[in-house]
Structure 1
């Protein structure tokens, strides 16, 4: 990312904000979609995150790369969305994949892995995605969910057992996710 882009955004340059959106909207959307399993909710998260960026970019101190700072905003907004909506996710895999509105057909293994992940309860899905796919530690998850580390460890352990049971010997793994 060009260093002057962030400086321009801090000064309120709307073209710089538009460029930040172009560069970072897709990763924010994908993170939210993986956790929430709802295309419209993920779009809401993207909108919320970039509204926050407009108001908070001046406070960004540069202690971490901008992408990591933005990712933290995205995770927090996604968890807020999860708390607010108390998602009830259907268990029919085809319906889930259709609700995601993927632009084209997913390879079979990706579709199966995603469908299995989306069958988990919302909090379990969030913990699995944030820990296993996004690399958050149990200490970080504990702070995000305002729980203890043992809470996220327990949720993760039970979710992985459920996934393994469903995976059987098909050889599908979370690494297959888009």
Structure 2
């Protein structure tokens, strides 16, 4: 069962004034700078949770805002802007995962700093985050996108060019692996930063 919306997700759902979007559509760089100011951190945090490496997450932020610059004229407003942007962020993160065959070790200090953790996390949070980062990259992506970001299995299947059963299987095995490593039920993903 998906976890309630996270802080990052609520930031993606924020209202963006129509006049700001109109200015961005017309190429106003100050409007683009304001969109960056509002959404760079949530894009970075999403990418960092999936990729586990600060440099790769920064690359995703850069790629996403280049895509926004190029595509904002085509944004029609059928979905809230933040959700449209979140989709760009997820796609760029998956592209990064695919292109690099992401195998780098996670820098936990950078991960915690990037997620805005003010200091040491409570032991349970730190343990859950460390275990999440030990999952294979694609499994970690499915767990983060399904459990923390609320994507459905149908959406994940389209993102990864797989079937829904593939997504369900990856998620089931990843959660079972996390539970085994913690040695107890109730892994507490909702408490992740």
Give the TM-score of the pair, scaled to structure 1.
Answer: 0.92
Residues 98-150 of structure 1 deviation map (CA, whole Å, 9 limit, x = unaligned):
34261633332221111010000000000000011101111100100001111
1:72 alignment counterpart: 87
- 1:21 correspondence with 2:36: yes
Once the two structures are superposed, residues 66-110 of structure 1 have per-residue CA deviations (whole angstroms, 9 ceiling, x without a partner) of: 0000000000000000001111143xxxx6413426163333222
The answer on whether the counterparts of 2:23 and 2:31 sit within 8 Å (CA) in structure 1 is: yes
Q: For 2:142 and 2:186, locate their aligned partners in 1 and report how far apart those are by CA, in whole Å.
A: 22
Counterpart position of 1:97? 108
Q: What's the counterpart of residue 109 of structure 1?
A: 124
Structure-2 separation of matches of 1:174 and 1:162: 13
Q: 1:124–1:155: 8 Å Cα contact kept in structure 2?
A: yes
> Is the 8 Å Cα contact of residues 96 and 115 (structure 1) preserved in structure 2?
no
Q: Pick closer, same or farther for the CA change 1:29–1:114 going to 2, 3 Å.
A: same
For 1:85 and 1:151, the matched residues in 2 are separated by 21
TM-score of the superposition, structure 2-length normalised?
0.85
* Aligned counterparts, 1:117-136, within 5 A: 117-136=132-151
Q: Separation in 1 of the partners of 2:33 and 2:47?
A: 20
Distance in 1, Cα, partners of 2:51 & 2:78 = 29
8 Å CA contact 1:112–1:172 kept in 2: the answer is no
Match of 1:86 among 91, 101, 111: 101
Partner of 2:59: 44
**55-64 or 95-104, which moves further after superposition?**
95-104
Residue matched to 1:145: 160
Out of 20, 23, 35, the residue aligned to residue 8 of structure 1 is 23
Give the CA deviation at 1:2: 1.8
Q: Where do 5+ consecutive residues of structure 2 fail to align?
A: 1-15
Q: Give the gaps of 5 or more residues in structure 1.
A: none
Structure 1 residues 13, 30: closer, same or farther in 2, change over 3 A? same
SS in 2 for 1:62: coil
Shift of 1:34: 0.5
Deviation at 1:158, TM superposition (A): 0.4
Q: Name the SS of the counterpart of 1:146 in structure 2.
A: coil
